[in-house]
Structure 1
């Protein structure tokens, strides 16, 4: 993986949630932990070739909503 970085912004509530979880992990800071979370999510979703199982997407969406990372509009 490349060391080049881009920035993203997240709502303060999500940042605070991540910040609170960092101390429960082996990660040094929110950036490292958030990178890990994104990598795991992308790995779970698979390649963007259209073969991703819709049920898995729905399951993942439900899980992320339950954890408070996304809100159902």
Structure 2
């Protein structure tokens, strides 16, 4: 499969990446694409965080008002965790 990259900024970036790691243009593109695919998906992370937040809120709503420790029980006078 052939790719024809017409964006000069992209071509320049590929050349710089290939030179930095002393690899071919193809290998530079392969490494960059694999790194991008390994990066966390921001939308998936946001959905997970929203789901966890909803679950935590639901859990807290079922606890008695005096179920948790007071802040003073968790930290000393200097603000350090006990």
TM-score, normalised on structure 2? 0.42
TM-score, normalised on structure 1? 0.46
**Greater RCO, 1 or 2 (C-alpha within 8 Å, sep 6+):** 1
Query: Of Structure 1 and Structure 2, which has the larger fraction of its residues in helix?
Result: 2
Structure of greater Rg: 2
